[in-house]
Structure 1
Amino acid sequence: MGIRSVISKPLAKWVVERQQTWMYTPAETQQRWFQKLVDGGRATVFGRDHHFNDIHTIEEFRQAIPVRDYEDLKPYVEQILAGNDDVLWKGKPLYFAKTSGTTSGTKYIPITQDSIPNHINSARDALLNYINETGNGAFLDKKLIFLSGSPELTQKAGINIGRLSGIVNHHVPAYLRTNQLPSYETNTIDDWETKLERIIDETLPQSMSLISGIPPWVQMYFDRIQERTGKLIKDVFPDFSVFVYGGVNFEPYRAKLYESIGKRIDSIETYPASEGFLAFQDSQTEEGLLLLLDSGIFFEFVPAEDYFSDNPRRLTISEVELGKNYAVIINNNAGLWGYSLGDTVKFVSREPYRLLVTGRIKHFISAFGEHVIGEEVEKALQFAMQQQPETEVVEFTVAPMVSPKEGLPYHEWLVEFATSPGDLTRFAQDVDNRLTQLNVYYDDLITGSILQPLKLTSLSRGSFQRYMKSQGKLGGQNKVPRLANDRTIAEGLLEADKTV
Structure 2
Amino acid sequence: MSIKSFSAKIFAKYIVSKTWKWSANPVTTQKAVFQHLIKNGAQTRFGQDHDFQHIDSFEAFAKKVPVRDYEALKSYVEEAVAGKPDILWPGKPEYFAKTSGTTSGAKYIPITKASMPMHVNAARDAILHYIAESGNSDFVDGKMIFLQGSPELQIKNGIKTGRLSGIVAHYVPGYLQRNRMPSWSTNCIDDWEAKVDAIVEETLPENMTVISGIPPWVQMYFEKLQEKTGKNIGDIFPEFNLFIYGGVNYEPYRKKFENLIGRRVDSIELYPASEGFFAFQDSQKEKGMLLLLNSGIFYEFIKADEFFTEKPQRLTIGEVEVGVNYVMLISTTAGLWAYNVGDTVMFTSTKPHRVVVTGRIKHFISAFGEHVIGKEVEEALTSTASQFKAQVSEFTVAPQINPDQGLPYHEWFIEFDAPPENLETFAQAIDLALQEQNSYYKDLITGNILKRLEIRVIPQGGFTAYMKSKGKLGGQNKLPRLANDRSIADALNQLDF
Query: Which TM-score band applies after superposition, normalised by the shorter structure?
Result: over 0.9
The correspondence of residues 167-182 of structure 1 with structure 2, limited to 5 A, is: 167-182=167-182
1:130 match: 130
Alpha-carbon offset, residue 81 of structure 1: 1.6
Corresponding position: 1:474 with 2:473: yes
Matching residue of 2:162: 162
How far off its partner does 1:163 sit?
Answer: 0.5
Q: Describe the superposition over 1:137-180 as per-residue Cα deviations: whole angstroms up to 9, x where unpaired.
A: 11111100000111110011111100111100010001101110
Aligned partner of 2:50: which letter?
H
Quick one: distance in 1 between partners of 2:48 and 2:192? Answer: 44
Shift of 1:297: 0.5
Superposed displacement of residue 49, structure 1: 0.4
Q: Which amino acid aligns with 2:460?
A: R
- CA separation in 2, counterparts of 1:244 and 1:82? 36
Structure 2 unmatched ranges of 5 or more: none
CA distance in structure 2 between the aligned counterparts of 1:170 and 1:120, rounded to whole angstroms: 10
Following TM superposition, where does structure 1 have runs of at least 4 consecutive aligned residues deviating by more than 4 angstroms? none
Matches within 5 A, 1:299-310: 299-310=299-310
SS in 2 for 1:478: coil
8 Å Cα contact 2:376/2:438 also seen in 1:
yes
| Number of the residue aligned with 2:445 | 446
Q: What does 1:87-126 correspond to in 2, within 5 Å?
A: 87-126=87-126
Deviation at 1:358? 0.8
Amino acid at match of 1:118: M
The answer for the alignment partner of 1:364 in structure 2 is: 364
Contact residue 149 and residue 166 of structure 1 kept, 8 A: yes
> Structure 1, residues 205-228: CA drift from partner, whole Å, max 9, x if none?
100000000111111111110000
CA–CA separation in structure 1 for the residues paired with 2:308 and 2:118: 29
How far residue 383 of structure 1 moved from its aligned partner, in angstroms, is 2.5
Q: What letter is aligned with 2:36?
A: K
Task: Tell me how many residue pairs correspond in the alignment.
Answer: 497
* Counterpart Cα distance in 2 of 1:349 and 1:205: 43
Shift of 1:386: 2.7
Aligned equivalents of 1:185 and 1:386: distance in 2?
Answer: 41
What are the ranges of 5 or more consecutive residues in structure 1 without an aligned counterpart?
none
SS of 1:170's partner is helix
Which SS does the other structure have where 1:231 is aligned?
A: coil
Q: Is this contact kept in 1: 2:83–2:159, CA < 8 A?
A: no
| Residues 24-51 of structure 1 deviation map (CA, whole Å, 9 limit, x = unaligned) | 0000000010000000100100000000
Deviations 1:56-76 (A, max 9, x none): 010000000011100011100
Question: Could you tell me how far apart the structure 1 residues matched to 2:470 and 2:4 are?
Answer: 41
Structural mapping, 1:9-408, within 5 Å = 9-388=9-388, 390-408=389-407
How far off is 1:286 after superposition? 1.1
Secondary structure of residue in 2 paired with 1:451:
coil
Q: Structure 2 counterpart of 1:462, which letter?
A: G
User: Aligned partners of 2:5, 2:474: CA distance in 1, in Å?
Assistant: 31
8 Å CA contact 2:151, 2:167 repeated in 1: yes
In 1: Cα distance, 2:21 partner to 2:176 partner: 28
Q: Which residue of 1 aligns with 2:434?
A: 435
Q: Distance in 1 between matches of 2:167 and 2:188?
A: 12
Cα displacement (A) at 1:495: 2.9
Alpha-carbon distance, 1:2 to partner = 2.7
Range 24-33 or range 4-13, more displaced? 4-13
Q: Give the C-alpha shift of residue 334 in structure 1.
A: 0.3
Q: Is the 8 A contact 1:383 1:430 kept in 2?
A: no
> What is the Cα deviation at residue 439 of structure 1?
1.5
Shift of 1:5: 1.2
SS at match of 1:272: strand
8 A Cα contact 1:396 1:413, kept in partner: yes
Structure 1 residue 348: Cα displacement: 1.0
* Whole-Å separation in 1 of the counterparts to 2:166 and 2:232: 29
SS of the residue aligned with 2:171? coil
**Shift, 1:384, TM fit:** 1.4
RMSD: 0.9
How far off is 1:423 after superposition?
1.3
Percent identity of equivalent pairs: 59
Is residue 234–residue 263 contact of structure 2 (8 Å, CA) maintained in 1? yes
Say which SS state the counterpart of residue 91 (structure 2) adopts. coil
- C-alpha distance in structure 2 between counterparts of 1:348 and 1:16, whole Å: 20
Please tell me whether the aligned partners of residues 155 and 161 of structure 1 are also in contact (alpha carbons under 8 angstroms): yes
- Whole-Å separation in 2 of the counterparts to 1:369 and 1:355: 26
The code of the aligned residue for 2:401 comes to V
Query: What is the CA-CA distance between 1:494 and the residue it aligns to?
Result: 2.6
Q: Distance in 2 between matches of 1:442 and 1:285?
A: 32
What SS does the corresponding residue of 2:263 show, helix, strand or coil?
coil
Which residue does 2:415 correspond to in 1? Answer: 416
Alignment deviations for residues 109-128 of structure 1 (CA, whole Å, 9 cap, x no partner): 00000001110000000001
CA distance in structure 2 between the partners assigned to 1:383 and 1:427 by the alignment = 11
